[in-house]
């Protein structure tokens, strides 16, 4: 799964831009400049993903970007936790089994999926492997 979502930046009549996401209708933010709007968009998207994880909700797949949309990436920590959350949901591996597979206690396993708890990327990568997923990173040229 890719955690880059298309955003629409609409000029606000009073100045700045309003940012919306087709895939996350509840995620709306704004910024005074294009750069500020895109920074706010990443923060807004991160909060939307974290709220979905907290609420045990769905994380939508990203839609193909249309020509007038801007790609906004979920920050890496949250993207890794979202990937683990989705993988755990798909495989049915609970915290107790994840802890056993990783050789850690259950509380630590629960924290790996908690979007409000900082986790090391290496441990999140190990957890993904423990549920049959592999982390693949792609670096793109910035727009």
pLDDT tens track of the chain, all 143 residues? 899 999 999 999 999 999 999 999 999 999 999 999 999 999 999 999 999 999 999 999 999 999 999 999 999 999 999 999 999 999 999 999 999 999 999 999 999 999 999 999 999 999 999 999 999 988 888 76
- The verdict on 83 and 120 lying in the same domain is yes
- Structural domain range at position 114: 76-130
Look at residue 143 and tell me if it is in a domain. no
Q: Cβ of 60: how many Cβ atoms within 10 Å?
A: 16
- The verdict on 13 and 65 lying in the same domain is yes
pLDDT at position 129: 97
**Is residue 25 within 8 Å of 86, Cβ to Cβ?**
no
Count of domains forming the chain: 2
- The verdict on 65 and 80 lying in the same domain is no
- The verdict on 108 and 122 lying in the same domain is yes
- The verdict on 16 and 69 lying in the same domain is yes
- The verdict on 32 and 64 lying in the same domain is yes
CATH of the domain at 26: 3.30.160.250
Q: Residue 2: name the closest of 41, 60, 42, 53 by CA.
A: 60
Q: What is the CA radius of gyration of the chain?
A: 17
- Model-level pTM? 0.92
In three-state form (DSSP H/G/I as H, E/B as E, the rest C), the secondary structure along 89-143 is HHHCCCHHHHHHHHCCCHHHHHHHHCCCCCCCHHHHHHHHHHCCCCCCCCCCCCC
pLDDT at position 138: 83
- The verdict on 97 and 37 lying in the same domain is no
- The verdict on 14 and 59 lying in the same domain is yes
pLDDT at position 1: 85
Using the 3D structure, point to which of 73, 88, 104 is the last residue of a domain: 73
CATH of the domain at 126: 1.10.260
pLDDT at position 142: 77
- The verdict on 90 and 125 lying in the same domain is yes
- The verdict on 27 and 68 lying in the same domain is yes
- The verdict on 80 and 66 lying in the same domain is no
pLDDT at position 96: 95
């Amino acid at each position: 799964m890719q955690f880059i979502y298309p955003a629409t930046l609409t000029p606000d009549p009073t100045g700045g831009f309003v940012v919306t996401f087709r895939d996350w209708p509840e995620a709306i933010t704004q910024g005074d400049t294009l750069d500020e709007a895109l920074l706010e968009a990443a923060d807004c998207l991160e909060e939307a993903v974290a709220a979905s994880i907290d609420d045990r909700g769905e994380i939508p797949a990203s839609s193909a970007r249309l020509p007038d949309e801007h790609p906004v990436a979920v920050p890496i920590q949250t993207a890794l936790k979202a990937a683990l959350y989705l993988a755990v949901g798909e495989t049915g591996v609970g915290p107790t089994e994840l802890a056993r597979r990783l050789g850690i206690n259950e509380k630590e396993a629960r924290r790996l999926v908690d979007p409000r708890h900082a986790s090391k990327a290496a441990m999140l990568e190990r957890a993904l492997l423990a549920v049959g997923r592999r982390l693949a990173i792609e670096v793109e040229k910035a727009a």
